[in-house]
């Protein structure tokens, strides 16, 4: 899927993996692949290589899942109603 970013340029955006009910996507932005989560949009990893970005993001989420969930919950609470 292609979407326009804030500079009006098109970026390639693809879902890449799910982990315990949370979904993550990758976008090509300013010459780097960025893996983010769908719930908060928080950037997990940036890398010049697609597969390396996905692999590293999966590892971080699996290793630090409790911290990730706490961050997402905090961001949800901070959202304006």
pLDDT in tens, 54-81: 999 999 999 999 999 998 888 888 877 5
Cα separation, 63 vs 59, whole angstroms = 6
**Average pLDDT value for residue range 35-56:** 92
- pTM, two decimals, is 0.78
SS (H, E, C) the chain: CEEECCCCCEEEEEEEEEECCEEEEEEEECCEEEEEECCCCCEEEEECCHHHHHHHHHHHHHHCHHHHHHHHHHHHHHCCC
Greater model confidence, 2 or 42: 42
- List the single range of 5-9, 42-46, 61-65, 73-77 with lowest mean pLDDT: 5-9
pLDDT at 6 over 70: no
Position 11 scores a pLDDT of 63
């Amino acid at each position: 899927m292609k979407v326009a970013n804030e500079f009006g340029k098109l970026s390639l955006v693809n879902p890449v993996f799910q982990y315990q009910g949370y979904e993550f996507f990758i976008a090509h932005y300013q010459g780097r692949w960025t893996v983010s989560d769908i719930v908060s949009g928080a950037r997990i990893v940036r890398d010049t290589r697609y597969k390396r970005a996905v692999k590293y993001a999966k590892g971080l989420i699996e290793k630090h899942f409790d911290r990730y969930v706490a961050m997402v919950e905090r961001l949800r609470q901070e959202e304006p109603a």
